Each structure stands twice: as C-alpha cells, then as structure tokens.
Amino acid sequence: MKGDIQKAREIIDESKTIVAFSGAGMSAECGVPTFRGKDGLWKNHSAQDLATPDAFKRDPRTVWQWYDWRRSLIKPLEPNLGHYAIAGAQERKDISVITQNVDGLHRKAGSQDVSELHGNIWRVRCTECGMEKDNTDVPIDILPKCDECSGLLRPAIVWFGEPLDPSVVSRSSELLSKADVTIVVGTSGIVQPAASMAAYAKESGSKIIEVNIEETPGYGIADVFILGKAGEVLPQILEEDAL
C-alpha cells in the first residue's frame, strides 16, 4: 500500500486539474446511515420504497417523516479527514468534487465546487412552481409549503426512477473531460452514472486513482488502486506534508 500511496502522490503532484468523485463510502466513517443496509430501514420501510415519485404522490406525509428522520441523523455529523483533505487541496490545486452523496458533507468541509448528482438533503423544491431553496430545519414541518405559491415542497433529491439534473450532468462531464486525475472514492460503481463517469474520465485522458475498502468492478480501469478507508487514505495522498 505504501508504494501505491507514493504512486498516487506522484500522479497528483504532476496534475493541475483534479476531480474527486465520491460515493456513500466517503461518508461511511462519519456515520451517515446507508441506503441499502439494515440501518437504512425506517419503520420497516426500505429506501427503495420511499425514495420514489410514486411513494411521494401516494403518501407525502410518510416520505417527509422519513426524510425528517434522516435529516435528524445527518445534522450533527461532521466531515471526516478525507473530506477535509479534499477541501484543503483547493489551496494548491484546481480540485472539484462530483458526489453521489446527498449529505452536504463536502460543502461542510469547505469544498467550493461541488456537483451533487443526486441532489442535497438540505434543499427543498416546490412541486408546483419549481422554486428551490436551502432548508436545514430539523424537525421540518411535515408537508412544508412553498412561500411563493403555497405548493407542496419536496426534498430536492433525485429519487429512484427520476433522471439526473441535466445541468449537473453536463457540468460533471465537462469537469471529468478536463481532469488530469480523477480520484474515485467510496463508490461501488454499480449504480449509474458512477460506472460510466469514471470510464468517461479515463477515455478523456484522466488518470484514475481509486480508494475503497474492497475491490470494485471499477478496479480494472484504475491506474492506482488503494485499499483503505477514505478518511485515512485521502490525507496521505492529498496533503503536502503527509509523508
């Protein structure tokens, strides 16, 4: 692993433009409840049952109660040393973040350029007029209403079966096409578009450094694969005086 870390540091040293592409594993050490594991269950509902447009249409109250519960779990959590290492590298490098996480922890750590592919749990959007804004209330009013048109607000999150926001996708593609190196961290690469995005970066000439606690299907395309935790590995490869 030491050799891999050295190699990753060399690639990063030579790079001007860096993208950190993160998934659920990035926040695992902070205690963010996972979607698929047992800790994601709430009153016997699974995320797959609740995070859908149909569930919200049928029973918005239950979906909001579930999000209120998730918000209450996430609110006290702090970023880990990996989030801070990415934010800290902004001082020396052109580094942006593309994340599948909705917890807002990259921004909380101080990263400025964050593209959130699946939205953000701290934003709400009106189902009538489309107005979107920050909302960090915990507890939140169940069935919150839009200030402008009184329409029902929903979490500004991409649910199962919904398309990603085209402007976020095109910004992400632009960043990946220009990246000298893409650090793929804590994502299984099973869920689209994660798998295709890392491959797109590679095709566009980016080196790939992957950080994960287990081998992933993406392993084959990585120039360097580092087996380890995001919060431990990222400071070692990104901080100037880490070695």
Q: What amino acid occupies position 202? A: K
Q: How far apart are the first and last CA of the chain?
A: 13
The interface region with ligand OAD, picked from 24-32, 121-129, 139-147, 195-203 by CB under 6 A, is 24-32
Tokens found for residue 216: 């992933």
Structural element, H or E, at residue 240: none
The interface region with ligand OAD, picked from 59-67, 133-141, 189-197, 200-208 by CB under 6 A, is 189-197
Which of 15, 96, 187, 236 is the binder for ligand OAD (CB under 6 A)?
A: 187
Known active-site residue 118: yes
Least separation in angstroms between residue 25's CB and ligand OAD is 2
Any contact of residue 125 with ligand OAD (CB under 6 A)?
A: no
Least separation in angstroms between residue 149's CB and ligand OAD is 27
- How many whole angstroms separate alpha carbon 31 and alpha carbon 103? 11
- How many whole angstroms separate alpha carbon 133 and alpha carbon 131? 7
For 55, other C-beta atoms within 10 Å of its C-beta total: 18
b/e 122-152 (16+ beta carbons within 10 angstroms → b) = bbbbbbeeeeeeebeeeebeeebebeeeeee
The interface region with ligand OAD, picked from 28-36, 60-68, 84-92, 143-151 by CB under 6 A, is 28-36
Least separation in angstroms between residue 87's CB and ligand OAD is 17
Active site residues: 118
Interface residues toward ligand OAD, by CB under 6 A: 23-25, 28-29, 34-36, 100, 118, 158, 186-188, 190-191, 194, 211-214, 216, 229-230
